[in-house]
Amino acid sequence: MRHFLTAALLFTLVSTSALAQGRVTALSATSASPTDLRAWDQEIDQMVRAGELRFREAARDPLLGDRRHERFDQYIRGVRIFGGDLTRQTASDLTVSLFGMIHSGIDIDTTPRLTPEAARTSIGGAGGGTPIGDPELVVLPLSDGYHLAYYGRVAAPLDQVSVFVDAGSGAVLRQYSEFISEIVAGKGIYGDDKKVSASTSGGARVASDTMRPGPITTYDMKGDFARMTNVLNGFTPVAPSDVASTAGVTWTDPVVVDGHVYAGWYYDYLFKRFGRSGIDNNNLRIALFTHPVKLADINTAPANVVGLYYINAFFCSTCGPNGRGAIVLGEGAPKNYFGPGIEVKPFAAALDVVAHELTHAVTASSARLNGFPFSEAGALNEAFSDVIGVGAAFYYEPPGNAALQASYVQGRDLTVPPAVIGRNLANPGPANPDHYTKRIIGGDPHYNGVILGHAFYLAIEGGTNKTSGLAVQGVGAANREQIEKSFFRALTSLLPSSSTFALVRVATIQAARDLYGSGSPAERAITQAWDAVGVQARTDPTATLLPDPAQPYTGVCNGMATPHWLLYVTVSAGSSNLRVTQWKWDDHSSAEYGNSAALRLTGTNSGAQFAAAFTGCGPGSDRLVAQSDACALFCADLLGDASGSTQITFTAVDDAGRTLTFATPRVTLLPR
């Protein structure tokens, strides 16, 4: 077998500053282990006194009146550690739980050689646009260690980009996109009657809901793409004429009707279900933008515009009239554009999609699951938006198969016929995983998010996971509120920004225990659901190997024999730092389909080769910090044979000097 690294996941880190080593501990101390909880509580208090942890905010629990939740950020010599934060839950001055990523043993020089002005220039150049504000000096944890960096945001022509540059050289370390009343009658996109909460301005009715404590404004950008991007980036302020309006007594634009009404329903869902006052729990204005482009222009629009403003909806945490968040609802696509016989509706058509995007705003004001797409936190951000979006749909719409009826397919109402581009949480298909061993770090974060979404479904409805074969006794659809509250409470009150699936497991179980008691049906169901999807404590190193679910058999790998496969590989460190010393492929071809007798092919690679190859979700290095990931995408063939199997075994040394060996599951390579 031959293996070639593809360019699809390459991410090159260039740095001239000294790299600091250290240790990160995934903290999940709860009352279930009182000795550990007391010890960590004392350690946290000591870190606060020493200035290593700084208080950020505190809030009362809207579901449990005697509970208080505090959030702290970690600093080293006055410099914030990006993603280094924790939460503490207390009841009657007693600590109930602690969750966070605690960094220790970092020996790093926090004096930058680069000036803030030079850093701003580097950030703007990397992001391809205009820097927004002044950069912040931070300590940036990456998979190979800790870097002193400047962090800033850039307004790009089609995006807002967060950029980290080396504080010594200005070289790019990482970058990623930030794009995660009066009653008037109207009809929605599917022709259903709705009541639009509006106000009167200048003799017209405008889509400004002032009847709810948290105001909601829906803007109609009338297909003016240039103005849309300037408003999002803050170059042009919104004007009264941008607010969607109608002169008559009936609203004639169904896109505005659906988007505005669904945002109001979402506000009500947050309050009625979770006791939350709006997206930030302080009635921050909800801002929605409709008609960012003209549907008639789709055939001449660049592919990146189509992918962002037509067949997409997104949330931007720093956009909008107050600079604190807005969602943009894509225009959709006409019949046959996306595929034969398929029409993509405007993205305002689906309640769960509007709720999904607005849940990103909730996350941005609470857990702040960091925007790194190449991390588990990025996938969890998408996952929570999926399950709360689905929860909102079930709250207002009856379950069923017709349009505007709730289902576990996130986004099913976006297309006619339905569910063409949705994510099925009940029955994940080949394009989405139902188990943690099928995760891909470095790809689309929505992909891994379905692992959490499927656990959510199983905890409610029950069932058996297809991969593990483990059965779950759900709480039942009549009690879905218990699971929704447990997941939402974990998101908004318990989780830190650099959460992993393992931390979410403990936090959702703790939330259920707090709300419904130890041994309750909700706690049992959530525990069983995480077991079924394979999420456990992240203590030992693991690895996954998976053919690309989007194109498992493809002709894009130059120089490869046919057939060949694209293979995603993820290596995840547990509770210890690792130094990879070697990795070994073990391939078997099959005589049943092939042109030759069955073959067994092996190949051993060094730690240096690991560093050169595994650059897909972080800097290439043979060292892997605890709780971090390294990943790569390979093209592979079986020397012309049409099927077989493959597996990779890794050897590494941990902090204690012990040699560890761990392997991916053996993957069957089938003919296509």
> Interhelix angle for 351-364 vs 254-274, to 10°?
50
12 in any annotated domain: no
Last residue of one domain, picked from the residues 538, 554, 572: 538
Are 247 and 182 in contact by the 8 Å Cβ rule? The answer is no
**Alpha-carbon gap, residue 28 to 510, rounded angstroms:** 10
The predicted pLDDT at position 201 comes to 83
AA identity, residue 242: D
Alpha helices in 212-350, H assignment, sequence order: 225-232, 254-274, 303-305
Closest CA to 581 of 602, 608, 603, 620: 608
pLDDT digits (tens, 9 = 90+) for 176-202: 988 874 556 788 899 989 999 999 887
**Alpha-carbon gap, residue 198 to 4, rounded angstroms:** 58
Last residue of one domain, picked from the residues 520, 538, 556: 538
Number of domains in the chain: 4
Specify whether 383 is located in the same domain as 322.
no
Specify whether 332 is located in the same domain as 302.
yes
For the chain, the straight-line distance linking the first and the last C-alpha, in angstroms and rounded, comes to 18
**Alpha-carbon gap, residue 349 to 253, rounded angstroms:** 12
Q: Identify the H or E element spanning 635.
A: strand 629-637
The predicted pLDDT at position 18 comes to 54
Specify whether 517 is located in the same domain as 555.
no
Q: Which two tokens stand for residue 250?
A: 């009936």
Specify whether 517 is located in the same domain as 600.
no
44 in any annotated domain: yes
For the chain, which residues score pLDDT lower than 50? Answer: 7-16, 181, 593-595
Half-sphere exposure of 567 (CA within 13 A, CB side): 29
Specify whether 411 is located in the same domain as 395.
yes
What domain range is 257 assigned to? 178-365
Closest CA to 256 of 208, 313, 214, 207: 207
The predicted pLDDT at position 600 comes to 74
Last residue of one domain, picked from the residues 87, 104, 121: 104
Q: Tell me the torsion sign for CA atoms 601, 605, 611, 612.
A: negative
Specify whether 489 is located in the same domain as 568.
no
Residue 450 CB contacts under 8 Å (≥ 6 apart), including other chains: 383, 386, 423, 424, 425, 428, 432, 433, 434
The predicted pLDDT at position 565 comes to 87
The predicted pLDDT at position 160 comes to 92
**Alpha-carbon gap, residue 531 to 307, rounded angstroms:** 36
Specify whether 327 is located in the same domain as 187.
yes
Report the CATH number that the domain containing residue 304 is assigned in CATH: 3.10.170.10
316 in any annotated domain: yes
Specify whether 222 is located in the same domain as 299.
yes
266 in any annotated domain: yes
The predicted pLDDT at position 203 comes to 79
Residue 151 CB contacts under 8 Å (≥ 6 apart), including other chains: 82, 135, 136, 137, 138, 140, 162, 163, 164
Report the CATH number that the domain containing residue 86 is assigned in CATH: 3.10.450
